[in-house]
């Protein structure tokens, strides 16, 4: 964001050849990704794959926030993590795994979960936020700060074989607090899920981030995508801004 | 009478034990009337997810009629053949 605009090198053109011919993307879209910083929190089942997809697409810089060590029960869905790293810090492994794929990627790895104390600083580092935390408190914090700083936020979430996502553009679309004015109490930290569902919602979320950054296609603005992989139903429902939203009503 | 198709999403689906159900309601019923009927018919745990302790619709449940979000407190009326989607918030990441 504060770095000067970098143009594409011949190495970039060689690596991204297959996507440079995507209609509406091209060299301009690739250059926009290269100059973009994206905050992904956390890098579990959804966020880890979001980060991997963004690294593959050529996003220049990722800010990752996730505390703690790899656990055995992470490995059905956290594809950035590996079996040999069980018991060791996720944030020591994630940047290395991402740079194996994309050595030019810049990673700011923060071994903390998003909190009141760090959220302003973390969002400040990014042009766009992809929200993948397993708790509403963290999601609502990122939403509040992204709206305050006027930065787009992609919220992607899953449960069992289902997923949902929407893209927030502060001042233009409903924000997460329009949907959930108070923290939903029925949500439990541990939920049933297959790793393929995490991968699906992550790829969709990364696609939204790329679209917003590159000005490609039509992001899910004012729309909630709801899908159920049990019967492969995908639906888009329109969502509303709350005139009295405590977060975005003054945007 | 009007007939409504209800679709449950996420935790609500698990609590209801079905993904979809058909419901008959008297004409000029609101979404709130529908939620009260469903809570009464199913009891716990679905009832507790749909309604707060004071019996009013939970503000965190998202309600869509024909894929348009509505707010139950608006009192908007249902029409015969409406499809109502009830979504309990997900935060799995
Ligand atoms: Zn809002």
Determine the distance in angstroms separating the CA of B25 from the nearest CA of chain A, rounded to an integer.
24
Nearest residue on chain A to B12, alpha-carbon basis: A186
| Interval between CA A30 and ligand 1 midpoint (Å) | 31
Q: How much is the pLDDT for A188?
A: 80
CB atoms within 10 A of CB A113: 18
Q: Tens digit of pLDDT for each residue in A62-107?
A: 999 999 999 999 999 999 999 999 999 999 999 999 999 999 999 9
Domains of chain B from N-terminus onward: 2-87 (3.10.20.30)
- Report cis status (omega within 30 of 0) of the bond before A69: no
Q: Are A166 and A155 in contact (CB under 8 A)?
A: yes
Determine the distance in angstroms separating the CA of A210 from the nearest CA of chain B, rounded to an integer.
19
- Nearest partner of B59 among A244, A106, A213, judged by Cα: A244
| Interval between CA A246 and ligand 1 midpoint (Å) | 7
Check A44 against B93: CB less than 8 A apart: yes
First-to-last alpha carbon distance for chain A, in angstroms, is 22
Residue A151 vs residues A36, A39, A55, A175, B46: alpha-carbon distances, Å? 12, 11, 20, 11, 37
Structure token digits, residue B34:
């529908």
Give the residue-averaged pLDDT of A148-177: 98
Determine the distance in angstroms separating the CA of B24 from the nearest CA of chain A, rounded to an integer.
24
How far is Cα B31 from Cα B62, in angstroms, rounded to an integer?
A: 12
Domains of chain A from N-terminus onward: 10-238 (3.40.50.720)
Q: How much is the pLDDT for A251?
A: 80
């Amino acid at each position: 964001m504060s770095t000067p605009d970098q143009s594409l090198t011949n190495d970039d053109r060689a690596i991204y050849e297959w996507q440079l011919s995507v209609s509406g993307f091209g060299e301009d879209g690739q250059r926009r990704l290269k100059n973009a910083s994206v905050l992904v929190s956390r890098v579990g089942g959804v966020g880890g794959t979001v980060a991997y997809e963004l690294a593959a697409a050529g996003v220049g810089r990722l800010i990752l926030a996730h505390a703690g060590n790899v656990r055995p029960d992470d490995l059905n869905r956290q594809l950035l993590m590996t079996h040999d790293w069980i018991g060791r810090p996720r944030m020591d492994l994630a940047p290395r795994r991402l740079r194996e794929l994309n050595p030019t990627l810049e990673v700011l790895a923060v071994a903390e979960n998003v909190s009141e104390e760090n959220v302003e600083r973390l969002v400040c580092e990014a042009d766009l936020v992809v929200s993948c935390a397993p708790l509403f408190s963290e999601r609502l914090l990122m939403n509040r700060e992204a709206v305050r700083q006027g930065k787009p936020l992609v919220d992607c979430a899953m449960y069992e074989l289902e997923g949902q996502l929407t893209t927030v553009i502060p001042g233009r679309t409903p924000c997460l607090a329009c949907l959930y004015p108070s923290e939903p109490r029925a949500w439990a930290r541990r939920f049933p899920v297959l790793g393929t569902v995490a991968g699906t919602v992550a790829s969709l979320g990364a696609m939204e981030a790329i679209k917003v950054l590159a000005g490609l296609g039509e992001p899910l603005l004012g729309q909630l995508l709801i899908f159920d992989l049990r019967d492969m139903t995908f639906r888009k429902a329109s969502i509303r801004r709350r005139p009295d939203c405590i977060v975005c009503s003054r945007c | 009478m009007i007939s409504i198709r209800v679709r449950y999403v996420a935790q609500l689906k698990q609590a209801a034990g079905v993904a979809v159900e058909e419901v008959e309601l008297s004409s000029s019923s609101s979404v709130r009337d529908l939620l009260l009927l469903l809570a009464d018919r199913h009891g716990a745990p679905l009832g507790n997810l749909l309604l707060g302790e004071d019996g009013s619709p939970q503000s965190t449940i998202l309600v869509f009629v024909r894929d348009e979000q509505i707010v139950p407190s608006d009192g908007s009326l249902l029409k015969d053949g409406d499809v109502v989607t009830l979504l309990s918030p997900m935060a799995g990441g």
